[in-house]
Amino acid sequence: MPLTWSDHLATINWQELSALYAAAPLGNKSPASLQTVFTNSMFRCFVHENGKLVGVGRALADGVDCSYICDIAVLPTHQGTGLGKQIVSHLVGLSRGHRKIILYAVPGKEGFYRKLGFRRMTTAMAIFDDPAGALARGYISEA
């Protein structure tokens, strides 16, 4: 079945997008929060199949120095089909010209991104609103 790609916000059903993140599973993200983050992202893509949202991604970018690819989500029925790779590749293409393209992966998915050209950063650090949860899920270490 043909996939339709778009970056338009006007036609997005934010409730459907929220359900996609829950199904992916990438956590519970409210429709209002998703509308805010996608609206504030320089690059985004929404992939539909027969009118149904099956994959998404976005990148925060400043136009010169840094583009941060995040929130890649694919419905479980479409995982393993190459759609996630296509979404990341699309966002990397849109981000070309930036000095660096950054993302952080769900623990255990680093190999997937390595195949797409990403390399582990030795100096990356973060402040999470729930550090204990981030530690438990493997996003940060105690050191």
Measure Cα distances from 124 to 3, 106, 114, 115, 130 in Å.
Answer: 35, 15, 16, 20, 18
Please report the pLDDT score of residue 17 as a whole number. Answer: 98
Range of the domain at 70: 3-103
Number of domains comprising the chain = 1
Residue 53 lies in a domain: yes
Mean pLDDT of 113-127: 90
Please report the pLDDT score of residue 100 as a whole number. Answer: 96
Residue 73 lies in a domain: yes
Please report the pLDDT score of residue 66 as a whole number. Answer: 96
Mean pLDDT of 22-51: 96
What pTM does this model have? 0.90
Please report the pLDDT score of residue 21 as a whole number. Answer: 95
Residue 25 lies in a domain: yes
CATH number of domain containing 39: 3.40.630.30
Residue 114 lies in a domain: no
